[in-house]
Chain A
């Protein structure tokens, strides 16, 4: 006769064996349900239930598992490991929490937005100016996406000589938030830090764009030491990552346009620069010429003044000379006496019978001395 297996175990042995079985059977199980009884203990431990119309299951995790602020009634997809705790009973140890359904995603984004807004992540005062144009760009995108192709096409058409460092990431799906976050962190730690970080993705449904509404990506964008430009190709709802970025563009092409001036425009500006250079040089030459002319004029007028002065001095000296001329004295009635062509100024030089010539103002007479009388 076959006997039914009979297992007898101690309590701890039972817990241990059950956990082994649970691990084997339910490794990585994902449970979807409505959130209830959420509570956080010591800012670290998180307890909550997921429920549906008929059942409730307890979960246990850490705050690091939370995708952002949550609210009772939200639909969650929770990956975890069911476990029977040796003291506290059954719960599922959380490995990953994601939101399920558009409604919950939207609501979670609203809650997260309100929280991050309160923390100041979206403050206009935090926004930094982007270098224009940057030399080195850090680009985060999916290599296969139209967004990537558009961005590269437009930037190549607009500007030259750029260095674009690129990290290929998934921009949707479960792995996207972590990949985008790590790409942002990688650029911030890279030895050749780019001057601007560009995160781009084409448009899509709310669920497609969910990565850009996660707390993880939003905080990474806000924390980036490199100024950020985020462009998610949709116009209606602006993602949280865009709100946290220093700058946002409406599409990846628009991002390329915002980053760089158009080289056609710059080249036509160079012609203006060339003519500014020429007119600058010309005006300097004109100015120098004018200066030279005024210097030469000054010199000439100085010479004329000097010449006049000299002329005046000569005129006054000539007047003096004229005044002192003996001819003038003779006009007043004086006379000069010459003996043997030598002027005589003393009576001692003359004797009786000496022949003398007397020069008067209007003529000459010859005479002979009759007598000499000395004073």
Chain B
């Protein structure tokens, strides 16, 4: 039943925090800084899309008993 493109906000938000933390380390090599920057931008875009476009789904269930 899991959506194919299931987006986990908490996970993404955590990833973004980690990326920013490692980007702020003083001794960071440029290649990984650029990769972090690109990844961070991608995640920001994903979160932005999620927060503006994703819909809340309501599924009605029946009690088991």
Binding site for B on A (CB under 8 A): 131-133, 135, 143, 152, 155-156, 159-169, 179, 182-183, 185-186, 189-190, 192, 263, 266-267, 270, 273-274, 276-278, 280-281, 283-285, 287-288
Contacts and interface: CB of A to CB of B under 8 A. Distances in A.
Contact of B23 (A132, A152, A164, A281): A281
14 contacts: A133-B9, A160-B56, A163-B57, A164-B58, A165-B59, A169-B63, A182-B64, A186-B61, A186-B65, A190-B61, A270-B44, A283-B26, A287-B26, A287-B28
Contact of B61 (A152, A155, A160, A166): A166
Contact of A155 (B41, B52, B56): B56
Interface in B37-65: 37, 40-41, 44, 47-48, 50-65
B65 A277 contact: no
B10 A287 contact: no
B59 A163 contact: yes
Given A270-B48, A277-B19, A281-B33, A164 B26 contact: no
Interface residues of B, number: 40
Instruction: Report which residue of B28, B50, B57, B63 has the largest number of chain A beta carbons within 10 angstroms of its beta carbon.
Output: B63
A183 B19 contact: no
A267 to B, nearest CB: 6
A183 B65 CA distance: 9
Nearest to A152: B58
| 4 tightest Cβ-Cβ pairs between the two chains A and B | A280-B23, A161-B54, A284-B33, A160-B54
Contacts of A277: 19-20, 23, 36-37, 40-41, 44
A133 B7 CA distance: 13
B30 to A, nearest CB: 5
B14 interface: no
Contacts of B26: 283, 287
Contact of B27 (A189, A267, A278, A287): A287
A160 B56 CA distance: 6
Nearest to A289: B30
Contacts of B61: 165-167, 186, 190
A270 B58 contact: no
Contacts of A186: 61-65
Contact of B55 (A133, A160, A274, A280): A160
Contacts of A288: 29-30
Given A185-B63, A287-B28, 19 more contacts: A152-B56, A159-B56, A160-B52, A161-B9, A162-B57, A163-B57, A164-B56, A164-B57, A166-B58, A183-B63, A186-B64, A190-B61, A273-B40, A277-B19, A280-B23, A280-B36, A283-B24, A284-B33, A285-B30
Contact of B52 (A132, A267, A273): A267
Nearest to A179: B63
Nearest to B11: A135
Contacts of A270: 44, 47-48
A267 B24 contact: no
Which of A135, A185, A284 is most buried by chain B, counting CB atoms within 10 A of its CB?
Answer: A284
A156 B37 CA distance: 31
A228 B53 CA distance: 28
A276 to B, nearest CB: 5
